[in-house]
């Protein structure tokens, strides 16, 4: 796989970097390096390059997995890190809105408050339509940034090579626009964005349908709401499939059932992508059930619809929330525990500065152990 090749290349370049560092004739080098090595994201963090975790989390190491929200501002140090953080955080917070909107939509106390035609004038409108609108806006921003991430899978590797070569030649640029038709991650992000765009159209159409002069015909409602949710769920499933094939296995099965190895069992990335895949499947189920309950069909009862809708849209939202939380925890771990730093879309490298070098070196990759690129 392309990303695995990048990982191997990074190991080769890192080995050369380590050899170059060891060849330096620096008096009392151990003390000098210990004083000068620091996490790029926060020079004052006090990380000494020896301990497994930065000082603030040594007593409570579980908190390092929440570093993405406890110290969110440090993830905006470079375009690559900013995009990675916002792409996952947007899914996380968007899922919260979707969870609220989905489960209030099946609460009978909220349902009976709905008055058609009062244009956001009742509890149902705000608890459901408004939450969906906000959730979709966050998701659309996040998935659009995932497209940008997919365009820059090898950006950290390019920067490492540029710095190792003495910063000669043009600096690698972070790409904001482009086409990569051979990149499954890129297609996966495109698919997510199309699906979320359809969700947003459906949410806006639902609000228009609630306005006095905006009541939609049955055919218009089917086209702008029901079919949008139906097709969007299929796009979510396709996207989760493409991410699994790119990041875990082209055969798909090793990434969607149960962990087939100890490395998968303990992998935040594996479980994160697993959550995204099955979340997409549940959203597809929710879209199918919504079609069955549409004004043109009404083939199931309201009680059945509420149950399956809660499982589909509600379960899908919960899995998306879990998947985003795991990806954010993976970024936090890469910041706070340097042996887990890796080149990858979902886990930006922890860059380490060595005084006198004028370049960044991922020494921790060689120092600790060979990194499992799935971790």
What would the 3-class secondary structure string for 105-147 be?
Answer: HCCHHHHCCCCCCCCCCCHHHHHHHHHHHHHHHHHHHHHHHHH
Q: Is 96 exposed, middle or buried (0-12, 13-18, 19+ CB in 10 A)?
A: middle
Cβ atoms 318, 280 nearer than 8 A: no
At residue 41, the pLDDT reads 32
Can you tell me the distance from the alpha carbon of 254 to that of 374, in angstroms, rounded to the nearest whole number? 12
Can you tell me the distance from the alpha carbon of 111 to that of 101, in angstroms, rounded to the nearest whole number? 12
At residue 307, the pLDDT reads 79
Of 374, 372, 360, which is closest to residue 14 (Cα–Cα)? 360
Q: Which has the higher per-residue pLDDT, 184 or 306? A: 184
CB within 8 A of 339, min separation 6: which ones?
52, 364, 365, 367, 368, 369, 371
- Average pLDDT for 226-239: 94
Cβ atoms 144, 138 nearer than 8 A: no
At residue 347, the pLDDT reads 37
pTM over 0.85: no
- Average pLDDT for 96-108: 87
> How far, CA to CA in Å, does 216 sit from each of 117, 129, 204, 223?
11, 16, 12, 10
Q: Is 50 exposed, middle or buried (0-12, 13-18, 19+ CB in 10 A)?
A: exposed
pLDDT at 349 over 80: no
* Residue % of the chain over a pLDDT of 70: 71
pLDDT digits 0-9 by tens, 109-163: 777 677 666 777 677 778 888 899 999 999 999 999 999 999 998 887 887 888 7
Of 260, 255, 253, which is closest to residue 274 (Cα–Cα)? 255
Helices (H) and strands (E) in the chain, counts: 17, 0
Question: Six-digit token pair at 209?
Answer: 């349908």
pLDDT digits 0-9 by tens, 1-34: 444 455 455 555 454 444 443 443 333 333 333 3
At residue 18, the pLDDT reads 43
Report the chain's mean pLDDT, rounded to a whole number: 75
Q: Scan for tokens 């790119």, then name that residue.
A: 246
CB within 8 A of 92, min separation 6: which ones?
321, 324, 325, 328
């Amino acid at each position: 796989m392309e990303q695995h090749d990048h990982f191997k290349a990074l190991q080769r370049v890192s080995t050369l970097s380590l050899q170059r560092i060891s060849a330096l004739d620096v008096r009392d080098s151990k003390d000098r390096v210990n004083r000068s090595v620091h996490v790029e994201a926060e020079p004052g963090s006090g990380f000494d390059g020896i301990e497994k975790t930065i000082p603030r989390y040594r007593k409570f190491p579980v908190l390092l997995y929440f570093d993405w929200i406890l110290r969110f501002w440090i993830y905006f140090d470079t375009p690559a890190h900013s995009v990675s953080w916002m792409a996952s955080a947007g899914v996380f917070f968007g899922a919260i809105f979707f969870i609220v909107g989905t489960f209030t939509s099946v609460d009978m106390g909220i349902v009976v408050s709905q008055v058609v035609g009062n244009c956001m004038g009742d509890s149902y409108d705000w608890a459901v339509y408004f939450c969906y609108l906000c959730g979709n806006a966050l998701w659309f921003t996040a998935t659009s940034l995932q497209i940008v991430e997919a365009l820059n899978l090898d950006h950290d590797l390019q920067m490492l090579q540029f710095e190792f070569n003495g910063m000669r030649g043009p600096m690698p640029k972070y790409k904001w626009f482009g086409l990569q038709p051979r990149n499954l991650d890129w297609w996966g992000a495109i698919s997510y964005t199309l699906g979320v765009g359809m969700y947003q159209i459906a949410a806006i159409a639902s609000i228009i349908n609630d306005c006095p002069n905006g009541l939609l015909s049955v055919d218009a409602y089917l086209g702008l709401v029901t079919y949008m949710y139906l097709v969007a769920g299929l796009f979510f499933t396709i996207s989760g499939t493409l991410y699994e094939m790119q990041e875990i296995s082209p055969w798909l099965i090793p990434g969607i059932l149960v962990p087939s190895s100890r490395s998968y069992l303990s992998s935040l990335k594996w479980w994160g992508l697993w959550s995204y895949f099955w979340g997409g499947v549940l959203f597809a189920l929710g879209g199918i059930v919504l079609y069955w309950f549409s004004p043109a069909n009404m083939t199931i009862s309201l009680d059945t619809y509420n149950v399956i809708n809660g499982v589909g849209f509600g379960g899908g939202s919960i899995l998306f929330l879990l998947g985003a939380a795991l990806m954010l925890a993976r970024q936090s771990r890469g910041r706070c525990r340097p042996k887990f730093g890796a080149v990858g879309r979902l886990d930006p490298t922890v860059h380490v500065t060595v005084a006198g070098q004028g370049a960044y070196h991922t020494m921790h990759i060689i120092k600790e152990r060979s990194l499992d690129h799935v971790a």
